[in-house]
Amino acid sequence: MRNQPETLHEYNIPRLHWWFLLSGFVFLLSLVLMIWVDYSGGYAPWLALHGDREWKNYQHQFYTLDMKRLADDAKAAEVKANEAGLARMQDDLEKTNGELSGKKAEETKLQAAVDQARVEDDLITRQFTMEKAMRDQDRSLYEEALERDNMNTDVPEVRESKNKAEKQNDFVSKLDLLKQQADAKLQATKDNQTVLMGHEVELQHNIKRLDDGIKLLTTRYKQLDSSLVQGVVNAPVIEFAAGTIKVEQIIADKHHTDVNFATVPRVDRCIMCHKGIDRKDPTPEDRDWRAKHKIEVIEWSRQPQPLRNHPQMDLFVGDTSPHPATTYGCTVCHWGWDRETTFSRSGHTPEAEEKQPYILDASTKQWVKAPKSEDDEDDDTKAQKVVVSKTNVVEMTQKEVWQKNHNWEEEEFLMQPMRSAKYVQASCLKCHNAQTNLKGGEKLDHGRRLIEQLGCWSCHKMKQMETYTTHHVAAGEDFEGLCKFYDVNADDVRRLNGFPQEVSLTIGQEVNIPIRTLRKPGPSLYKVASKTNKEWMRKWLDNPVAFRPNTYMPRFWGLDNNAGTPDRNAVEINAIAEYLFAVSDQPKYPVPPVQGDAENGKKLVGQLGCMGCHVIDEKLMDVKVPASLKQYMDDWQYRRLRSQGPQLAGVGSKAGGNWLYAWLKDPKQYHPRTKMPNLRLGDQEAADVATYLAGLHNEKTDQETLPEAKGELLDKETIEYLQVTLPMEEARKKINNLDDLIELYFVDEETMKYYQDPARLAREETQLKALQKEFEETFDDAVDRKAKKLAAQIEQVKVKIQAAKQTVAGMQFTDKKNVYLGSKLIFRYGCYACHDIHGFETAKPIGTELSEWGSKPVDKLDFGLVDIEKGRLSWLKQKLHAPRSFDRGRIDVTRMPQELLRMGKFNLTDEQIDQIVTVVSGMTDEKLTPNEARQLTPAEFQIERGRWTVKELNCIGCHIVEAQGGAVRATGIATGMEPPLLSGTPTQLHQGQRTQPDWLFQFIKAPQTGQIRPWLHVRMPTFGLTDGEANVLVKYFALQGEAQFPYQSPKIDMTPEHLAAGKQLFEQLKCALCHIVDGKALGKPLAEIPEEDLPRLAPNLSQAHLRLQRDWLVNKWLVEPLAQQPGTRMPQFEYGTAIAPNILGGDGRKQIEALVDYVLTLGTHEQVAEVVPAPAPVAAPTQPQAQP
Amino acid sequence: MKLSKLLMVVVVSVLVTTVSHAADSASVSGKITFDGKPPKQKKIPTDADPKCAEMHADSPLLNEEVVVNADGTLKNVFVYVKSGLEGKTYDTPKTPVELTQTGCHYVPHVFGMMVKQPLEIINSDDTLHNIHAMPAKSKEFNVGQPNKDMKTVRTFAEPEIMVHFKCDVHPWMSAYVGVMTNPFYSVSGDDGAFSLKGLPAGEYQVAAWHEKYGEQVQKIKVGDGEAKTLDFKFSKPAE
């Protein structure tokens, strides 16, 4: 060992060794600790490291539960197997085996018998074939001999050969018989064998099947039950290999999310905790069966979260559902942070704001819902009876419970926090916005309908409300052809796609085909001065709800930010009313030609079907505060009432009898786009109804007096608005000369463009001069024509402007100020978005676009000084409840009146607000790839268009369509005066199957021509539809009813016997006792039948051949009328021998066909002429008339 | 007012004792009286169907909505045990109940039957009748009977007080059936009397239903073999 020179160290080696040792221990310890913390994070609460690995706990709970399930299932399977006779079968098998082995000889004998039979059969078959050949030879020898001897049978040679042939033939016949016997014997012995063997095979198969089931369950159970196996596979560190407690995920690669500006597939780890999500509940039968056998069953829907299963397995998660979890995952609908594995950070959003009772579960140290008493389950409204002692129960909101159980805190920076169950339907919108009547999307449907009706979309652009289907242009398609294919208006397509007049398509181009076109929801105000009076208008604007509690018109004054300025409000309201009346057209409505009878008018309103869309309800007028209407508003009835026409109580305070008369006679003359159809009222009817309605006054509105609009305030506010564009001094002066600022409101739409582009007139005049000059030089006629046209146009504009100047000049000074201020206020509040108002034809809506509102960051929302939770949805709810509340506390301090919030307050219930919130929060910036979006099939497209038309026309006010609606039908059914059900549940009637499309088209276009029950009081209105619109409905009914379309004429059996039998049945069943035939019923012309007998009559059968489909009559209607139209008066006959054993041999089906075919000839040229006496057993054939 | 009257009826109802001790042998019987001036039965015009008019050429058909007997008792009142038999089950009789359409009206006008008991509907007229039953709980049916002496059998699956029958061909025709789960029901006839026999001892709510005057309910307690009386009084509601 060499002596090394002492190296100089700043440190001491041995001491360093100690340090190494120490740090080694520290590292080892921290490694162990790390592993332990990682491993035990969830289920070692004593370590005070809560939360991070909660999912381990849940997986543990799940497997414990699942083990129990397996044990139960195994037990059940065993019992079931025994029930199915496992033991017996095993016995059988053994016995059979025993028998088989015991009688081995028999088996051998059987086999020998088969063998022998086969040999015998072979031999005889061979012999038979040989002898048959011999016989054929003999025959031919005989024939040859015969020919040789010139057909003389007496020649011995011939006779001999004939004898031989005959003998041989007999022999062959005998052999044939023997062969058949041998065949049969062989088959019989084979059968014997099969029976014996087959029985055994079958038994063994059954036993195996039952056995396997039990084995499978018990193996899995043992595997899970074995604590050793569990302990090893889930041990620290090695758990990664094959642990059952592990990280799990669904990669929904068709659905994407944005992570740090990159689009990546969603990777959902929700199932790490929600492990029971796809577990099915036992069927009621299974539950009963197990209860009987005292085997427990786990109901996954009753497990505490997160182990509960999905509540709508038929729609989601399940493999056979339209949205299986394996491809859709969870967060595509529920939102939340897909990759996160902790409760809070994954974005769970608490549900209810109301408190509920919770108790602390001692075993899990978790707060759980206090159990309710059993009889409570069916009735949620009943006060909760808590079983446990009251002292343990704490009333908490879900949020508070989560804070206690999971240390929950809001994830402020999560862009897609989980949607609470209440609003989860919002997610449907991104894929299904073109579809309505969504199963499981009822709230969304209600919300969208509400948005359509309230007109939210008319101020706020909402792309999701512009529903369309997307067409990918294929080779050879042109624009016209495309429009024709979809049967849509080319202009609507151009508008939606922003196409120019001339459209050329390229292959692969996407063209959006509109499903519907929304129209301004409010009535036109172009002629408002002829309809109502200024006084009413002011009261209405002041508080629409006071006059009509169920109105869609929002309130603009008396709200949070202007309730304190009643005088200012009075000035604004007055200015708007003055403006509307000043610019309104003034058509004259003369006194009706006949005197009206209010009493009869009232009766008519009840009978004609007005109540399908309107309501006349004094109750609605008594109410002071909208909140007290809640009960009434919440029910379906209210939504229906609210859905179409205005409530008519008090309408006389608003409109006069003359206007009402003209309106009732033809609503479209006043407002071309009105939804009100024409009821084809006679002069007297219209006068009666108008008199009745004009007499309905809202006394409170009549007596109400509004504060006077003060002149000095009018000046002040006018100057305020002038100041927007002018310096203060000039504004003060300008108020005295407003003419040039208001002139433009008194010209038409075309001329207004000259005001919007003030240089235009001068430009056109210069242009004219140039043209004139050119003409003088060239004498070109074309130039002359152009010049003259332009000159005329300029002249016309000048005349119009001059007229407007005169009108304005003739106005009072105050009126001018009012018109000026009114125009500014209409601009401010955006009234023109819902109403037609002169002067605002091209004005842009005032609302913010909401197409991506659902993704708006919360920090972009102004909560003002309102103390609510800082969340997207709570903001929106507050906005809808009290739209101006965010101005609370800062009026006059920081803001000018013009800067205040201006959205109107709609009179909405909490339920309605939730529905709207659902829709708006579903309008997000999520981009879908074509794969993800739900494409409509052509049939679905047509059905959606039809649904939209049905909604727009409010068909369901009277009829039942898609099993909805039918209020008028419900009231008429007792008296036999009901409008028919048009499409019900799948087993009920579908209009498309019942009537012929041509007839339906005609009837929709002109109902008066196809009346089959002319005595009905309720009247199918004329909606004034275009051919295209009527076709939409016809197609809708055909496609929705899965009926044949286009329609093909049926084959009618025209044989005289068949029709005569039909006629005989027709008479025997006394069809004509109710049905009209040839304009007669009971042998009397319709006009002679007393009125009280009319309701028991039935449709005119002379029109049946034009109206009804034979298939439907034969296969549905006559077979079971009640199944088609509940409540129908058409009886079901027991066709066949029960009613007519002598007709068509008592064959029910044939009788129905004959009857239908006969009815389908009524009113046609083929009609059976003669009456066949009823009792004749066989009908004498009658000749149909020759066709011309 | 009405309540105190009812109370009085209960209080003064006479107790009739019996010596029978057999099980299920109690009975409740009584009379339905009508208080006030009996409304007159209106004639029904039957011209709509000449066959019906023919049958009633001499004796016009009378409206059966309210039929007050000569002794001031009320006919066609359906009396039944409304509650008190919960948990007990009774066999459904196999013998059918008959409802006949004769002379263009229903006989009987009011009757009772048990759930799933066959109802035999007979057409004795030489015209078309359709029997249209409009139950709220069981399945609606509407059967046409074009021939004389046709029979149709139907049942009701659910109990219901009362199921209305109508004929759409002859709108004046009307009948009611009480569909019961027990056999304790009775309809007052020409003497206005009813009786419920073979009841087990117990406390019951007995109801009397009339198509125009609605339903009245009284409580009664019967012991083994006891026979009690119970009277109901209907009157025209004040208008």
Together in a domain, A588 and A574: yes
Question: pLDDT class for A244, splitting at 50, 70, 90?
Answer: confident
- Are A372 and A504 within one domain? no
Give the tens place of pLDDT for each residue, A894-922: 567 778 889 999 988 888 899 999 999 99
Q: Chain B interface, mutation test: which of A973, A981, A1120, A1133, most B Cβ atoms within 10 Å?
A: A1133
Residue A100, pLDDT score: 58
Query: Are B1-84+188-239 and B91-181 in the same CATH fold?
Result: yes
Q: How far apart are CA A1151 and CA A138, in angstroms?
A: 61
Mean pLDDT of B4-24: 43
Interface residue of A981, A1013, A1070, A1075 to substitute, partner B, most B CBs within 10 Å: A1070
If one compares B227 and A390, the residue with the highest pLDDT of the two is B227
What band does A503 get if pLDDT is binned at 50, 70 and 90? confident
User: Chain A 1052-1071, CB below 8 Å of chain B: which residues?
Assistant: 1068-1070
Among chain B residues, the shortest Cα distance to A1074 is held by: B169
pLDDT band at A151 (very low <50, low <70, confident <90, very high): confident
Same domain, A215 and A250: no
The pLDDT tens digits of the residues spanning A986-997 come to 778 888 899 999
Closest A-chain CA to B151: A1138
* H-only helix segments in A739-811: 739-742, 749-756, 760-778, 781-809
Report pLDDT digits (tens) over A1074-1119. 898 888 877 778 888 887 778 788 888 988 988 999 999 999 999 9
Distance from CA of A1074 to the nearest CA of B (A): 7
Question: Does pLDDT of A71 surpass 70?
Answer: yes
The verdict on residue A42 lying in a domain is no
Which residues in chain A have Cβ-Cβ distances shorter than 8 Å to B142?
Answer: 1121-1122, 1128-1132
B178 strand-pairing partners: B112
Average pLDDT, chain B: 85
Inter-residue contact A306 to A274 (CB < 8 Å): yes
Tell whether the model's pLDDT for residue A247 goes beyond 90.
no
What CATH number should be reported for the domain holding residue A139?
1.10.287
Q: Where are the alpha helices (DSSP H) in B23-64?
A: 50-55
Q: Is the dihedral of CA A962, A963, A964, A965 positive or negative?
A: positive
pLDDT confidence of A796, banded at 50, 70, 90? very high
At B125, list the tokens: 């007229």
Q: Is the same domain home to A992 and A1016?
A: yes
- Binned at pLDDT 50, 70 and 90, residue A1062 comes out as very high
Residue-level pLDDT at A837:
94
Q: How many CA atoms lie within 13 A of A356 on its CB side?
A: 18
- Give residue limits of the domains in chain B: 1-84+188-239, 91-181
Residue A320 class from Cβ within 10 Å (0-12 exposed, 13-18 middle, 19+ buried)?
A: exposed
CB contact under 8 A, A1139 and B150: yes
Residue B10 has pLDDT above 50, yes or no: no
Task: Kindly state whether A522 is in contact with chain B, defined as any CB-CB distance less than 8 angstroms.
Answer: no
Task: Name the β-bridge partners of B186.
Answer: B79
In the prediction, which pLDDT does A526 show? Answer: 94
CB count within 10 Å of CB A736 equals: 9
Each residue of B143-181: pLDDT tens digit?
999 888 889 999 999 999 999 999 988 888 999 999 999
Judgement on whether residues A344 and A248 belong to the same structural domain of the protein: yes
Q: Are residues A418 and A429 in the same domain?
A: no
* Domain B91-181 is found in CATH 2.60.40.420: yes
Same domain, A436 and A579: no
Mean pLDDT of A633-642: 47
Q: Quick check: is A129 in a domain?
A: yes
pLDDT (0 to 100) of residue A241: 64
Greater confidence (A624 vs A880) lies with A880
pLDDT reported for residue A296: 85
pLDDT at A242: 65
pLDDT band at A224 (very low <50, low <70, confident <90, very high): low
C-alpha gyration radius of chain B = 19
Three-class DSSP category at A998 = helix
Chain B interface test: which of A988, A1120, A1132, A1137 (most B C-beta within 10 Å)? A1132
Q: Which value does ipTM take for this structure? A: 0.81
Kindly state the tokens that stand for A816: 């001018």
Q: Which of A99-108, A616-625, A866-875, A1096-1105 has the lowest mean pLDDT?
A: A616-625
For A932-988, write each residue's pLDDT tens digit. Answer: 778 888 889 999 999 999 988 988 888 888 877 777 776 676 666 777 888 877 778
Of A645, A669, A703, which one is at a domain's C-terminal end? Answer: A703
Residues A72-83 pLDDT 10s: 877 777 777 666
**CA distance, residue A622 to nearest chain B CA (Å):** 27
Question: Domain holding A477: CATH number?
Answer: 3.10.350.10
Residue B20 has pLDDT above 70, yes or no: no
What's residue A237's pLDDT? 63
Confidence of residue A1154 (pLDDT cuts 50, 70, 90): very high
Indicate if the pLDDT at residue B8 is higher than 60. Answer: no
pLDDT value at position B154? 92
Q: What is the pLDDT of residues A654-699, one digit of tens each?
A: 998 899 999 999 999 999 889 999 999 999 999 999 999 999 988 8
Chain A residue at shortest CA distance from B167: A1129
Kindly state whether residue A1056 falls inside one of the protein's structural domains.
Answer: no
Same domain, A556 and A699: yes
Q: Which band of pLDDT confidence, cut at 50, 70 and 90, is reported for residue A642?
A: low
Residue showing tokens 């309210």: B66
Q: What is the pTM of this model?
A: 0.78
- Tell which of A644, A675, A703 closes a domain: A703
pLDDT tens sequence across A397-448: 888 888 888 888 887 778 888 998 889 999 999 888 888 888 888 899 889 9
Is A1095 part of the contact surface with chain B (CB cutoff 8 Å)?
yes
> A1002-1039, pLDDT tens digit by residue?
999 998 887 788 888 888 999 999 888 899 999 999 99
Chain B residues within 8 A of A1130 when measuring between CB atoms: 142
Work out the minimum CA distance from B206 to partner chain A, whole angstroms: 28
Closest CB to A1132 among B143, B147, B170: B143
The reply to whether A1093 falls in a domain is: yes
What does the buried/exposed string (b/e) look like for A1060-1076 if buried means 16 or more CB atoms within 10 Å of the residue's CB?
bbbbbbbbbbbbbbbbb
- For residue A391, is pLDDT > 90? no
Q: What's the confidence (pLDDT) of residue A405?
A: 83
Structural element, H or E, at residue A117: helix A104-148
Give the span between the Cα atoms of A325 and B61, in whole angstroms.
70
To the nearest whole Å, the CA of B14 is away from the closest chain A CA by 41
Asked if B127's CB is within 8 angstroms of A1073's CB, the reply is: yes
Q: Are residues A483 and A592 located together in one domain of the fold? A: no
Which residues, in sequence order, are CB contacts of A1032 under 8 Å at separation 6+?
A487, A942, A945, A946, A949
Find the mean pLDDT for residues A233-259. 73
Boundary-marking domain end, from A927, A956, A974:
A927
Contact at 8 Å (CB) between B79 and B122?
no
Residue predicted with more confidence, A200 or A59: A59
Supply A1165's token pair. Answer: 């040229």
**CB nearest B146 (choices: A1095, A1126, A1133):** A1133
Contact with chain B for residue A1133, Cβ under 8 A = yes
Q: Which of A1026, A1069, A1040, A1033 is nearest to A963 (CA)?
A: A1040
- Residue carrying structure tokens 């196409």: A499
Percent of chain A with pLDDT over 90: 24
CB contact set of A1016 (below 8 Å; sequence gap of 6+):
A977, A979
Contact B201, B224 (CB under 8 A): yes
DSSP state of A853: G
Q: What is the pLDDT of residues A192-201, one digit of tens each?
A: 777 767 766 7
Higher pLDDT, A927 or A661: A661
Nearest CA in chain B to A1088: B48
CB A1152 within 8 A of CB A1132: no
Task: State the total domains in chain A.
Answer: 7
Residues from chain B contacting residue A1082 (CB–CB below 8 Å): 48-50
Average pLDDT across chain A, whole number = 82
> What is the extent of the structural domain holding A401?
243-293+325-376+386-423
The CATH number assigned to the domain with range B1-84+188-239 reads 2.60.40.1120
- At residue A288 the predicted structure's pLDDT band, cuts being 50, 70 and 90, is confident
pLDDT digits (tens, 9 = 90+) for A819-844: 999 999 999 999 999 999 999 988 88
pLDDT value of position A534: 92
Based on the domain organization, do A656 and A620 belong to the same domain? yes
Q: Are residues A500 and A628 in the same domain?
A: no
Evaluate whether residue A613 is within a structural domain: yes
Please check whether residue A1146 touches B, CB under 8 A: no
Residue A391 lies in a domain: yes
State whether the Cα torsion A672-A676-A678-A684 is positive or negative: negative
Check residue A1185 and give its pLDDT: 39
Judgement on whether residues A643 and A658 belong to the same structural domain of the protein: yes
Rounded to whole angstroms, how far apart are CA atoms A664 and A605? 12
Assess contact for A1073 and B52: CB atoms under 8 A: no
CA max distance for chain B: 58
Residue A88 has pLDDT above 90, yes or no: no
Q: How confident is the model at residue A222 (pLDDT cuts 50, 70, 90)?
A: low
Is the Cβ of B168 closer than 8 Å to some Cβ of chain A? yes
Please compute the mean of the pLDDT values over residues A865-878 and round it to a whole number. 88
Q: Kindly state whether B49 is in contact with chain A, defined as any CB-CB distance less than 8 angstroms.
A: yes
